[in-house]
């Protein structure tokens, strides 16, 4: 990763309120506080690492405005409102230079139906397939081997990484980012037991990703049995997540890796799901709900709850139950001891 920023450029990119200290030369890398060298930029994004700032060799450190430390010789502190977000702003500049938007046009190895509509401002990479009736809007980037099905649409400014599949009739909104291997519109897991046989139920709905949705690598979002599976505006989905048929996810949710959401469940706005958590089918999860990692949501959850465990319980209750469960072995010993004492008293009474 080759980068180079002067101090003046860093101040501009991160929106620093002040620069404290003196150093010469550009910054040519980004590293953690413990690993950074004199030519690197680092940041204090979590207060638990505050003690590492004093010993860091980083040439430039992004620190909160109220941080009480002072830079050492040859070091500069850039005081910002939110160091983590300030670093994200800088990384956005780095990203645009490392992965510049490809030039508009259709690669000669791509297969584009004459009945498809592809904006002249879109980029269609090698070995892509765009089926009849598909619509590709302006500034879309389809990297190698992307498949866009019949009558599907990809909104303006969306970026689909290699081997993404957008199923027939599905809708990708504007400015969405789909990482390698994402499948939007795979057939939902719908079956019915008829007599001694398991019969397939046709899945004839679609998937809709609203604007600014991001989906991590190898995640799958199943088409609805009927109507639509929906992911709301601004929601971010991590790698290896399964969203089943007819699920509706609200706006601005964050869903970590290996989460599974079963069919027809409804998730509210601004919910957060920890890794490997799951939601059973046909449930309602309210707005701003937080679900702990590896938790299993097996009943409806009202808004503003933090639930944890299997089955998921309100966090305070779940923590108390965990504490009590650790005391069970001693409790059983006491019960056995009391039972033995009672038996002895009963024998003596006879």
- Catalytic residue IDs: 245
In this structure, are residues 212 and 177 in contact, taking their beta carbons and an 8 Å threshold? no
Q: What is the chain's alpha carbon radius of gyration, rounded to the nearest angstrom?
A: 27
SS3 of residue 249 by DSSP: strand
SS3 of residue 123 by DSSP: strand
CA 213 and chain centroid, separation: 10
Place of tokens 């706006």: 251
Cα separation, 80 vs 1, whole angstroms: 25
Nearest to 188 by CA among 233, 273, 247: 247
CA 296 and chain centroid, separation: 18
Contacts 24+ apart (CB under 8 A), 314-323: none
Nearest to 289 by CA among 253, 240, 331, 238: 253
Burial of 343 (0-12, 13-18, 19+ CB in 10 A): exposed
């Amino acid at each position: 990763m080759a980068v180079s920023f002067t101090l003046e450029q860093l101040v501009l990119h991160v929106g620093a309120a002040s620069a404290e200290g003196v150093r010469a030369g550009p910054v040519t890398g980004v590293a953690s506080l413990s690993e950074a060298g004199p030519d690197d930029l680092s940041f204090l994004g979590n207060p638990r690492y505050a003690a590492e700032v004093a010993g860091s060799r980083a040439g430039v450190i992004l620190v909160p405005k109220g941080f009480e430390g002072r830079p050492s010789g040859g070091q500069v502190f850039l005081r910002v409102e939110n160091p983590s977000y300030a670093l994200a702003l800088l990384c956005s500049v780095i990203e645009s230079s490392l992965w510049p938007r490809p030039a508009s046009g259709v690669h000669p190895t791509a297969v584009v139906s004459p009945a498809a509509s592809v904006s002249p401002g879109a980029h269609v990479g090698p070995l892509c397939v765009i089926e009849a009736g598909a619509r590709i809007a302006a500034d879309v980037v389809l990297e190698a081997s992307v498949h866009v099905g019949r009558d599907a649409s990809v909104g303006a400014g969306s970026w689909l990484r290699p081997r993404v599949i957008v199923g027939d009739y599905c809708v990708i909104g504007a400015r969405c980012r789909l990482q390698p291997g994402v499948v939007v519109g795979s057939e939902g897991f719908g079956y019915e037991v008829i007599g001694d046989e398991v019969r397939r139920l046709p899945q004839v709905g679609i998937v809709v990703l609203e604007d600014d949705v991001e989906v991590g690598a190898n995640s799958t979002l199943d088409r609805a049995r009927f109507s639509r599976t929906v992911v709301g505006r601004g929601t971010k989905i991590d790698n290896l997540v399964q969203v089943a048929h007819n699920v509706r996810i609200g706006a601005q949710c964050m869903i970590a890796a290996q989460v599974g959401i079963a069919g027809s469940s409804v998730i509210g706005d601004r919910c957060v799901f920890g890794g490997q958590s799951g939601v059973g089918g046909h449930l309602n999860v309210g707005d701003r709900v937080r679900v702990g990692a590896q938790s299993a949501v097996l009943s409806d959850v009202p808004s503003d709850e933090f639930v944890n465990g299997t089955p998921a319980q309100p966090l305070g209750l779940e923590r108390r139950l965990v504490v009590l469960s650790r005391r069970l072995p001693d409790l059983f010993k006491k019960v056995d001891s009391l039972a033995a004492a009672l038996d002895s008293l009963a024998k003596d009474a006879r």
